[in-house]
């Protein structure tokens, strides 16, 4: 009987954790401290901080949701909406750029980062963002 009660508690806890993680997936989070800047040679090497906003997303060939992020980012870059300014899209393979991913604190795929024209990280998304959220974030830059 005790084993059944423990099993029920574990199942309920797992469900709660799953609901919380799912609610966080794809949510745009502002980075108030700005995170790393282009003072990082790795960020400068990939093109962050060249004077225009950048959408940097990490992916891998084995990542299914990364294809959805690619489609969303392409739609935003082609039609930035109210942002008005050109946006640079950079997609990096996690396996080939593991040191930069570590520096930026990328723990899961897909992860999308938005940088302003000065190379400061302003927003971060784990999971698949919506095009609307990305456009609103770009307008704030």
Active-site residue set:
63, 66
Q: How many CB atoms lie within 10 A of CB 38?
A: 18
Q: Judge whether 119 and 15 are in contact, CB under 8 Å.
A: no
Residues 75 and 81: their CA atoms lie apart, in Å, by 10
Distance CA 98, CA 56 (A): 14
131-140 helix and 65-78 helix, angle to the nearest 10 degrees: 50
């Amino acid at each position: 009987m005790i084993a059944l009660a423990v099993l029920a508690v574990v199942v309920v806890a797992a469900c709660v954790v799953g609901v919380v993680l799912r609610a966080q997936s794809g949510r745009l989070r502002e980075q108030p401290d700005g995170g790393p800047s282009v003072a990082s040679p790795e960020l400068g090497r990939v093109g962050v901080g060249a004077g225009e906003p950048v959408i940097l997303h990490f992916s891998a060939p084995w990542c299914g949701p990364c294809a959805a992020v690619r489609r969303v980012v392409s739609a935003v870059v082609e039609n930035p909406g109210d942002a008005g300014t050109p946006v640079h899209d950079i997609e990096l393979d996690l396996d080939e750029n593991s040191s930069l991913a570590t520096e930026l604190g990328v723990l899961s795929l897909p992860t999308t980062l938005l940088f302003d024209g000065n190379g400061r990280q302003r927003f971060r998304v784990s999971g698949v963002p919506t095009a609307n959220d990305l456009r609103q974030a770009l307008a704030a830059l």
